Each structure stands twice: as structure tokens, then as C-alpha cells.
Amino acid sequence: MDLDSHKMYLTAYYSYNPSELESELLDDIETNSQAHIPDFLIYTEVKLGNDYGENKKHDFVVFAIYEES
């Protein structure tokens, strides 16, 4: 989150390339976040789990699991 420039970055880490449904769900998260925080621009980025670095700066880390049935 960059408070000075009113930007929020959302990075989604996946174990494998996301499915079309998972991509749509991430888009919904971006849209809903933007609706509830209109003063900030929300940017999303998709990375694979092995790109996650514990030494990188993260304001918040949230884990969620979605399993298609």
C-alpha cells in the first residue's frame, strides 16, 4: 500500500496457473475492493507460490483456498 500516491497492490500467489474461474474471482476481489475504497487505485498481480519471498515487504498476508468441486 502506498498511502502517498493512493495505490494499493494486491498480489495473488497460486500453486499453479489460475483457472479461468480463479481469475474471475480475483477480478471480483479487485472490483469489490475498489468499490469499498474509492480513494485508492487497486492493482492486482498474479504470481506463482515459488515467487513468494518472506523477506519482501508485505503489509498484509492473507491465505485462502478455493477448491473446485
Digit-coded pLDDT (tens) for 24-66: 989 998 998 888 888 889 889 898 877 776 677 767 666 666 6
Instruction: Outline where 1-69 has alpha helix (H).
Output: 20-36
Q: What is the pLDDT of residue 20?
A: 93
10-42 core/surface letters (b: 16 or more CB in 10 A; e: else): bebebeeebeeebeeebeeebeeeeeeeeebeb
Closest CA to 65 of 49, 42, 43, 45: 49
Closest CA to 23 of 10, 32, 9, 12: 12
Q: Which residue has the higher pLDDT, 69 or 21?
A: 21
Q: What is the pLDDT of residue 38?
A: 86
User: How far is the C-alpha of 60 from the C-alpha of 48, rounded, in Å?
Assistant: 18
